[in-house]
Amino acid sequence: MSGKTVWVATRKGTFKVEKSAGPWHAALVGHSGIGVNYVARDPKTNRLWALLGHGHWGAKLSISDDDGATWRDNPAQVKYPEGARYIGQDMYEDAASEFGVGWKTTIRNATLLKLWVISFGDNGSIWIGTIPGGLFESRDGGASFELNRPLWNHESRGGDLFNGDGTGETKWFGTPASEGGEFAPGIHSIAIDPRNPKRLLIAISTAGVLETSDGGNTWRSRNKGMTMDHNPDPEAEWGHDPHVIELCRSSPDHVWQQNHAGVFYSDNGAENWRKVSAPSEGVHFGFPVTVDANNGKVAWLVPGRSDAQRMAIDGGLFVARTDDGGASWRQLRKGLPQESAYDVVYRHALDNNDDLVAFGSTTGNLYLSEDRGESWTAVSHNLPPIYAVRFG
Amino acid sequence: MVQVQLTRHLFAFFPQLEGQTLEVEATDVAGVVRALEARAPGLGFYLCDERGRLRPHVNIFIGNALIRDRRQLSDAVKAGDKVSILQALSGG
C-alpha cells in the first residue's frame, strides 16, 4: 500500500504502522531505545530518513532503503561549519541587580543541537531544519549537506557573524525543544511549493515564517496579518511562535499555521494571514495542523487547552476539521476517549492521506481514521511518547 | 600503543569494533579519537561535536582519571596507557 503506511517517530524508536490483513498494527522497526524526532520517506527515491536524537551521542541522520527493515547512519551527517555563530540570550546571576539576575546577549558557536524536520523537493533537493536555527540543504541526494548561509546571516538574526559580529541584535528567540536544554531558535517546518521547488516557506520557533523564491539565496518575512499575545506589539514583524505550517499540494497558495497565539490561514501563499481560531469550538491552541492535498480549504487540528495547560480540553480528546477555510469547524470525537484523557499531540504528529488521518500523542496513544476523521480507532495505547506521524 | 576500551553501547552502532583489541598510536586524547575515527568512520561524531569538543554526556578516562580538557582533548597519553570511553551517568 504505497503511501498508506504510517511512520511513527517516538522517544524510543521508529514504528511502522500497516493494515495488511486485519486491523492496523504498529511494529517497532528500528532505533530501539533511541529518540526519533521525525521519520519520512523521500517520494523520489523511496528512501526513508529518520532524524535521531541520541541521549549521549548527539543528533544523527539514519536511512533505510528497504522499507524500514534495516537502518544505517547516513554517511554524511549534518554539521555546522567552522565559524557558524549566532546571537543567544542568556540569563545570569548578578548580585548587583535588585532581581538577582541579569540578561545579556552573547555570541555562541553553533553546533547541532537537534534535527527537527526533513522535507523533499520535486527537484531532488533535501532540506533539513535544525536547532539552533540552521537550515541545511543537500543537492546530491544526501551525499552532503550545506548550511544555508543567506538565512543564517539574515538581518533579522543579526547579520553575518561569519565575518565579524553582525548588528549585535537578533529578532530570533528560542524554543525549549532543543536536546540538552540550550535555549535557541529551531526550524520545524519546511513547506516546499510543488509548482516551484525553489520556493520554500519555513517556520521558526521563535521568529515567524520566512519565504524564499530563489532556492534560498534571499529570504523575506511572511508574517503579515499574524498577531501575538506574548508581545506588547501584537503585530510586530518578528517574535511569532508558529508551531507548524503546512501548505496544500494541489493549491499551494493555501497555507495553514497552528501558532501559539491561534490558528491562522492564508489563501495567497502566506502573503497575508487571517486568524481563524474559533474558541467556542475549542479551536485556538495546539501544535499540529494538516491540510488536505486536494482541497486547500480543508484542514485538521488537534486542539489543546491553552498554552498554560497543553492537554486535551476538559479530559475529552477531539480532532477539529474545517471544510471551508476556517469559517466553521466541527469537533470529531467518535472513537476518541471523552473522559480522563490528557493527551497532547506534538507539531509533527498529525497527518492525512486521502481519507486517512492519523495522530499520536505524548502519552503513546496512536489513533487512525479511515473516513476523514468522522470516526477513529486506536492503533495502540502503549507506544512510547510520539513525536511524529507521517504517511509515506 | 594505547589500549582503548569502549562502552559496549557503541558496539550497537559500530559492530565492527566488537570483540577487537583496540590499540592505537596516539600522544593525546584527540589523537585517540582520530585513530578510532579512521577505524570506524563516524565514531568521532558520536564522541565529539563538530567543533571537536567532547559531548556533555560522554566521559573519557586515562587510567582511572577523567581527562581535564574536554574542549581540545589535549590530555597526553603514552604507550601502555589504558583509555576508557564511557557514557556519563546523570543519575536516576
Q: What is the number of other CB atoms lying within 10 angstroms of the CB of residue A260?
A: 17
Q: Find the DSSP H helices in chain A.
A: 149-152, 306-309
Exposed e or buried b per residue across A218-248, where buried means at least 16 C-beta atoms within 10 angstroms of its C-beta? ebebbbeebbbeeeeeeeeebbbbbbbbbbb
Count the alpha carbons within 13 Å of A371 in the hemisphere toward its beta carbon: 8
Residues of A in contact with B16 (CB under 8 A): none
Q: Which residue of A has its CA nearest to B54?
A: A57
Of the partner residues A56, A79, A112, the one whose CB lies closest to the CB of residue B57: A56
pLDDT at A166 exceeding the cut of 90: yes
pLDDT at B92 exceeding the cut of 70: no
A186-210 per-position pLDDT tens digit = 999 999 999 999 999 999 999 999 9
Separation of CA B66 from chain center: 12
Q: Which residue of A has its CA nearest to B86?
A: A56
CA A56 to chain B, closest CA, distance in angstroms equals: 5
Q: Which residue of A has its CA nearest to B40?
A: A75
If we measure between CA atoms, which residue out of B47, B42, B50, B38 comes closest to residue B14? B42
Q: Which of residues 137-196 of A touch B (CB under 8 A)?
A: 180
Residue listed under C-alpha cell 485556538: A284
Q: Could you report the predicted ipTM of this complex, rounded to two decimals?
A: 0.93
pLDDT at A220 exceeding the cut of 60: yes
Selected residue with higher pLDDT from A229 and B50: B50
Separation of CA A208 from chain center: 13
Of the partner residues A57, A75, A80, the one whose CB lies closest to the CB of residue B55: A57
Q: What is the number of other CB atoms lying within 10 angstroms of the CB of residue B71?
A: 11
Write out the H or E segment, with its range, that includes residue A14.
strand A13-18
State mean pLDDT over A255-265.
97
Q: Which of residues 25-84 of B touch A (CB under 8 A)?
A: 41-42, 45-47, 49-51, 53, 55-58
DSSP state of A171: S
Structure confidence at residue A309 (pLDDT): 85
Cα–Cα distance measured from residue A71 to residue A6, given in angstroms and rounded to the nearest whole number: 17
B58, A56: Cβ pair inside 8 Å? yes
When pLDDT is cut at 50, 70 and 90, the band that residue A380 belongs to is very high
When pLDDT is cut at 50, 70 and 90, the band that residue B91 belongs to is low
Residue A328 in 3-state DSSP?
A: coil
B45, A79: Cβ pair inside 8 Å? yes
A61-110 per-position pLDDT tens digit = 999 999 999 999 999 999 999 999 999 988 788 888 887 888 788 999 99
State mean pLDDT over A334-354.
97
Structure confidence at residue B22 (pLDDT): 95
Cα–Cα distance measured from residue A157 to residue A133, given in angstroms and rounded to the nearest whole number: 10
pLDDT at A306 exceeding the cut of 70: yes
If we measure between CA atoms, which residue out of A51, A108, A119 comes closest to residue A83? A108
Q: Does B13 touch chain A (CB under 8 A)?
A: yes
Selected residue with higher pLDDT from A236 and A138: A138
Helices (H) and strands (E) in chain A, counts: 2, 30
Structure confidence at residue A37 (pLDDT): 98
If we measure between CA atoms, which residue out of A55, A15, A8, A6 comes closest to residue A34? A55
Structure confidence at residue A283 (pLDDT): 97
A5-63 per-position pLDDT tens digit = 999 999 999 999 999 888 999 999 999 999 999 999 999 999 999 999 998 999 999 99
pLDDT at A301 exceeding the cut of 50: yes
Phi and psi at A85, nearest 5°, equal: -135, 160
Q: Residue A295 has which C-alpha cell?
A: 482541497
Residue listed under C-alpha cell 497575508: A272
Of the partner residues B50, B56, B57, the one whose CB lies closest to the CB of residue A79: B50
The rounded percent of chain A whose pLDDT value lies above 90 is 87
Residues of A in contact with B56 (CB under 8 A): 180
Is 0.80 surpassed by the pTM of this model?
yes
A237-254 per-position pLDDT tens digit = 999 999 999 999 999 999
pLDDT at A146 exceeding the cut of 80: yes
B51, A56: Cβ pair inside 8 Å? no
How far are the Cα atoms of A302, A352, A377 from residue A357, in angstroms, in the given order?
11, 4, 11
B51, A111: Cβ pair inside 8 Å? yes
> Which amino acid makes up residue B76?
A
When pLDDT is cut at 50, 70 and 90, the band that residue A1 belongs to is very low
Domains of chain B with CATH codes: 2-87 (3.10.20.30)
Q: Which of residues 71-110 of A touch B (CB under 8 A)?
A: 73, 75, 77, 79-80, 82, 109
Structure confidence at residue A319 (pLDDT): 98
On whether the CB atoms of residues A89 and A97 are closer than 8 A, the answer is no
State mean pLDDT over A342-370.
97
pLDDT at A122 exceeding the cut of 80: yes
